[in-house]
């Protein structure tokens, strides 16, 4: 068996780390594999970069001007096809191919013509919409038909609303493939079953977590910030905005008294200007070990995200022994159960506040229960599921 993964990155970002983890699992089985990627740099021995950074930037500009998101980058995609022909893999595993790193027409014409077995992990909803990665927050249902009259076209093109045209092109291209779809959550799998891709096999394989890194970790975090007598509410995101629930934390900061301390990780100087002085803002951690220290110090992890395929930060918190409160949206509720967290209705800040007060005061969830739930997402198990899926599709 020989496997080639295709993704925007290799070893960086959530999808790039997943690709490398799958590759390392394949290496343990002595299975030849490669990761074709387009953005950034990587020293990983199985990585093959097929685009320049300039080509990626030009692809983004072209998409903005011509409204052809997913159908630009022709020269680079032909180069990618050349790599696929050279290595002649048994399985092509697609991940994020909408980072202006792929021309769908060129890639899928090649895959279809050469009868390649394809596994495509959907890390968001882009594959079955005109161009949106998420549509939960604006409550759009246009993807169920033809995406006519996009409610936010300027997010994808400065001049042209081509969402309906792009969806029609996807529907035509993605016919007749030897395709198996993987989703990280049941929530996303259910959406795929409502889409034009519903007739393909659909499997759910949760994203895995490294339990040797995210584990209860002693630190002086509380002492460093003078929080020994405080209830710490922690939020972690990379790209804080309304979608990630920044406004909810601002609301909670108004409601909760001085016994509670909100700590946000993943902020920046722009976000800092929106925060009151009594929210602790941490732009970035030195490494994952430091992040584990912060998770471990918190009394509760608060996840007011409005759009999330699964919610890896929830699982990271659990694996450090910290319970989770999350909105009922996307795949986020799938991370927890009644032993380790609370799910409240989306946008119900009253319910979120009530849950925070209850968890901090009554401490209903034990560290052991949180750790037991986190073990369900052990990356060693999850990425082994991919190896087993590869073997199944080749039978």
Q: What is the pLDDT of residue 155?
A: 81
In the chain, domain spans: 2-208+379-393, 221-377
Q: Spell out a b/e string for 41-70, using b for 16 or more CB atoms within 10 Å of the CB, else e.
A: ebebebbbbbbeeebbebbbebbbeebbbb
What is the pTM assigned to this prediction? 0.94
**What's the CA gap between 98 and 112, in Å, rounded?**
19
Q: What is the pLDDT of residue 70?
A: 93
- Among 271, 324, 332, 279, residue whose Cα is nearest residue 306: 332
DSSP H or E stretch at residue 343: strand 341-345
Domains 2-208+379-393 and 221-377 agree in fold: yes
**What's the CA gap between 347 and 256, in Å, rounded?**
17
Q: Spell out a b/e string for 348-364, using b for 16 or more CB atoms within 10 Å of the CB, else e.
A: ebebbbebbeebbeeee
**What's the CA gap between 211 and 379, in Å, rounded?**
8
pLDDT tens, N- to C-terminus, the chain (395 residues): 999 999 999 999 889 999 999 999 999 999 999 999 999 999 999 999 999 999 999 999 999 999 999 999 999 999 999 999 999 999 999 999 998 999 999 999 999 999 999 999 999 999 999 989 988 877 888 888 888 888 887 888 888 889 999 999 999 999 999 999 999 999 999 999 999 999 999 999 999 999 999 999 999 999 999 999 999 999 999 889 999 999 999 999 999 999 999 999 999 999 999 999 999 999 999 999 999 999 999 999 999 999 999 999 999 999 999 999 999 999 999 999 999 999 999 999 999 999 999 999 999 999 999 999 999 999 999 999 999 999 999 99
**What's the CA gap between 261 and 80, in Å, rounded?**
49
Which residues, in sequence order, are CB contacts of 122 under 8 Å at separation 6+? 181, 182, 183, 184, 188, 192, 309
Assess if CATH 3.40.50.2000 describes domain 2-208+379-393.
yes
Q: What is the pLDDT of residue 37?
A: 98
**What's the CA gap between 322 and 366, in Å, rounded?**
8
Assess if CATH 3.30.465.10 describes domain 221-377.
no
> Residues, the chain, total?
395
């Amino acid at each position: 068996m020989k496997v080639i993964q295709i993704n925007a990155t290799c070893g960086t970002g959530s999808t790039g780390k997943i690709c490398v983890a799958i590759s390392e699992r394949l290496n343990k089985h002595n299975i030849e594999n490669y990761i074709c990627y387009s953005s950034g740099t990587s020293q990983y021995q199985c990585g093959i970069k097929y685009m320049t950074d300039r080509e990626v930037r030009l692809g983004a500009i072209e998409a903005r001007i011509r409204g052809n998101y997913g159908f630009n980058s022709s020269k680079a995609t032909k180069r990618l096809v050349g790599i696929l022909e050279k290595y002649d893999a048994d399985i092509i595993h697609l991940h994020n191919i909408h980072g202006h790193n792929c021309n769908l027409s060129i890639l899928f014409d090649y895959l279809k013509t050469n009868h390649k077995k394809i596994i495509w992990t959907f890390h968001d909803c882009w594959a079955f919409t005109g161009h949106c990665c998420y549509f939960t927050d604006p409550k759009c249902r246009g993807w169920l038909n033809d995406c006519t009259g996009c409610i936010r076209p300027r997010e994808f093109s400065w001049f042209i609303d081509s969402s309906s045209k792009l969806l029609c092109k996807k529907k035509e291209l993605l016919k007749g493939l030897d395709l198996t779809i993987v989703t990280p959550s049941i929530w996303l799998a259910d959406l795929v079953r409502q889409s034009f891709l519903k007739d393909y096999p659909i499997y759910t394989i949760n994203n895995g977590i490294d339990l040797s890194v995210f584990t209860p970790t002693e630190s002086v975090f509380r002492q460093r910030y003078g929080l020994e007598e405080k209830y710490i509410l922690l939020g972690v995101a990379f790209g804080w905005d309304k979608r990630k629930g920044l406004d909810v934390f601002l609301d909670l900061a108004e409601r909760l008294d001085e016994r509670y301390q909100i700590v946000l990780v993943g902020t920046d100087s722009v976000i800092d200007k929106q925060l009151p002085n009594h929210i602790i803002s941490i732009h970035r951690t030195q490494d994952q070990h430091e992040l584990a220290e912060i998770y471990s110090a918190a009394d509760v992890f608060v996840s007011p995200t409005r759009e999330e395929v699964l919610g890896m930060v929830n699982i990271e918190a659990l694996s450090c022994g910290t319970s989770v409160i999350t909105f009922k949206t996307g795949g986020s509720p799938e991370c927890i159960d009644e032993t380790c967290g609370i799910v409240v209705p989306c946008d119900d800040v009253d319910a979120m506040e009530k849950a925070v007060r209850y968890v901090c005061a009554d401490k209903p969830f034990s560290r052991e229960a949180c750790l037991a739930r986190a073990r369900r997402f052990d990356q060693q198990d999850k990425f082994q599921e991919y190896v087993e899926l590869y073997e199944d599709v080749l039978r």
